Chains A and B, each alone.
Chain A
């Protein structure tokens, strides 16, 4: 079946450090890939997405590239801020049908000043 594996953390960084959160997936065909973020006390928000191989999603300084050859969608940011502290979820959905999301377990990021 479809599944997503992401580094579980928690991850603690200092402000302005480089961030990578690894995400790999297992799926048949060509899923769409997503990163969602949950800030403290809030709901899930779509951070970025990619719908086909080699697409790069980007938003708020975060980037992730859809790598079909390595079945990966790693999240990166060059310089994190305290306000980036949140839980990050990698997810996929298969096109067609209900297009339900399959999530990883989430990675809690804490950025210290």
Chain B
């Protein structure tokens, strides 16, 4: 089966611009997660979708971040406007049964300059 696909793999944008990251989960996986690793720090949870509904968005850092999952398939994470501290690697993961391991994508490396 195809894995979790994320694109772009890299994005370099200027402070104040908008960037949209996309994640295509494994087909049939209702659970979709976004995580972020800022340089030198832990990978941190951002939010969790069950189908198209946000189950838990407690990790979203502020209202510059907007995640959507229309139709319960792919998800987008928009950062608007981007700030320097948003730089990092954004990971998406999906699972059929939470708690027993997820399948992660390769991540999107975002650099805000």
Q: Which of B83-113 contact A (CB under 8 A)?
A: 91, 93, 98-107
| CB of A6, distance to nearest CB on chain B (Å) | 10
- B contacts, CB < 8 Å to A: 3-4, 6, 33, 35, 40-45, 48, 55-56, 59, 91, 93, 98-107
B101, A103: Cβ atoms under 8 Å? no
**Cβ–Cβ < 8 Å partners of B45 in chain A:** 98, 100-102
**Cβ–Cβ < 8 Å partners of B56 in chain A:** 97-98, 100
A16 at the B interface (CB under 8 A): no
A99, B104: Cβ atoms under 8 Å? no
Name the contact of B102 in the complex, choosing from A4, A95, A101, A104 (C-beta under 8 A). A101
B41, A105: Cβ atoms under 8 Å? yes
User: Which single residue of chain A is at the shortest CB-CB distance from B54?
Assistant: A98
Q: Which of A63-113 contact B (CB under 8 A)?
A: 89, 91, 93, 95, 97-106
The CA-CA distance from A99 to B55 in the complex, in Å, is 10
> Can you offer 12 A-B residue contacts whose CB atoms are under 8 A?
A34-B101, A43-B3, A43-B91, A43-B106, A44-B43, A51-B99, A97-B55, A98-B48, A100-B48, A101-B35, A104-B42, A105-B41
**Cβ–Cβ < 8 Å partners of B35 in chain A:** 101, 103
| CB of B57, distance to nearest CB on chain A (Å) | 9
A46 at the B interface (CB under 8 A): yes
- A contacts, CB < 8 Å to B: 4, 32, 34, 36, 41-46, 49, 51, 89, 91, 93, 95, 97-106
Known: A43-B104, A45-B104. A95 touches B99 (CB 8 A): yes
A89, B101: Cβ atoms under 8 Å? no
A105, B42: Cβ atoms under 8 Å? yes
User: Which single residue of chain B is at the shortest CB-CB distance from A8?
Assistant: B40
**Cβ–Cβ < 8 Å partners of B98 in chain A:** 93, 98-99
The CA-CA distance from A67 to B6 in the complex, in Å, is 35
